[in-house]
Amino acid sequence: MDRLAADPQPHHLHAAFLSALLPGLGQAVRGQARQAAITFVSGTLLLAGVWALGRMAGPSAAIFVLMLLVLPWWALQSYAAGLPVPPGPPGLLQTLQIVWARAHDIRYLGALFFLTALTDLYIIVANPEYSLTIFCSKPGGVLGVLAKAQSPTLHTLIGYGFMRLRRWGLFLYLAYAAFGLLNATANYACFGYGRVRTVFLVTLIAFTLYVLRRRRCFQAPL
């Protein structure tokens, strides 16, 4: 089990890099033909499913599933390609055990926060007239600018806290999640059902429950 928990060795990092470019390529280079085939086929099916979803439900739904399902799978198979070969055939369960033990899932969530911060910043710059709805109103002027700026700022700070497993990152996220929950609930009451609002609310609740379940990962000093 100690061997399983080891970090990827330098001479295995090229395999992880190759699998980051093309799922299964790193496993193939290391002679894990069966695992490479399974990884490549499953990746193809996932991407095909995202493409079909985009055709049926629009690009927003496809991007949401891509970030929620495909990107974590892509990162997981790349990480697995760089791990030392365990006793017995390599498998998804063994990789998940290592990821769970080393809190790499939390670090991945931190990377998602960084990605979200960049997305928020792009939306703000590309659409200067965009206004953020806060408790059923859209503040303008300086307050409107500050309201928009808080989103990429907080996402960046939370992302860093998650990547470094800092306790303050957990506390900051919980405060942010509480505000987001109250704001989304208020907007739901004012404007009624909306697909985006509903998905955001459900996702926020599920995301927060997962973070709370993994709260012991945040052991780094403040």
Q: Are 131 and 213 within one domain?
A: yes
For residue 116, the Cα-to-chain-centroid distance in whole angstroms is 9
Q: Is 169 within a domain?
A: yes
Q: Are 96 and 134 within one domain?
A: no
Structural domain boundaries enclosing 165 = 104-217
Q: Are 55 and 95 within one domain?
A: yes
Domain boundary among the residues 101, 123, 150 is at 101
Q: Are 112 and 190 within one domain?
A: yes
Q: Are 51 and 110 within one domain?
A: no
How many structural domains is the chain composed of? 2
Q: Is 222 within a domain?
A: no
Structure tokens at 83: 């791990």
What is residue 139's three-state secondary structure?
coil
Q: Are 52 and 113 within one domain?
A: no
Domain boundary among the residues 101, 125, 154 is at 101
Phi, psi of 138, rounded to the nearest 5 degrees: -120, 95
Q: Is 167 within a domain?
A: yes
The predicted structure's pLDDT at residue 2: 42
Q: Are 111 and 40 within one domain?
A: no
Q: Is 54 within a domain?
A: yes
Q: Are 111 and 212 within one domain?
A: yes
Q: Are 79 and 113 within one domain?
A: no
Cα–Cα distance measured from residue 181 to residue 188, given in angstroms and rounded to the nearest whole number: 10
Q: Are 121 and 202 within one domain?
A: yes
Q: Is-contact 197 185, C-beta < 8 A?
A: no
Residue 141 — left, alpha, or beta (φ > 0 → left; ψ -120 to 50 → alpha)?
A: left
Q: Is-contact 214 101, C-beta < 8 A?
A: no
The predicted structure's pLDDT at residue 88: 52
Q: Which residues of the chain have pLDDT under 70?
A: 1-11, 85-91, 140, 144, 220-222
pTM beyond 0.75, yes or no: yes
pLDDT digits (tens, 9 = 90+) for 202-217: 888 999 999 999 999 9
Cα–Cα distance measured from residue 171 to residue 175, given in angstroms and rounded to the nearest whole number: 6
Q: Are 125 and 207 within one domain?
A: yes
Domain boundary among the residues 70, 101, 132 is at 101
Q: Are 188 and 127 within one domain?
A: yes
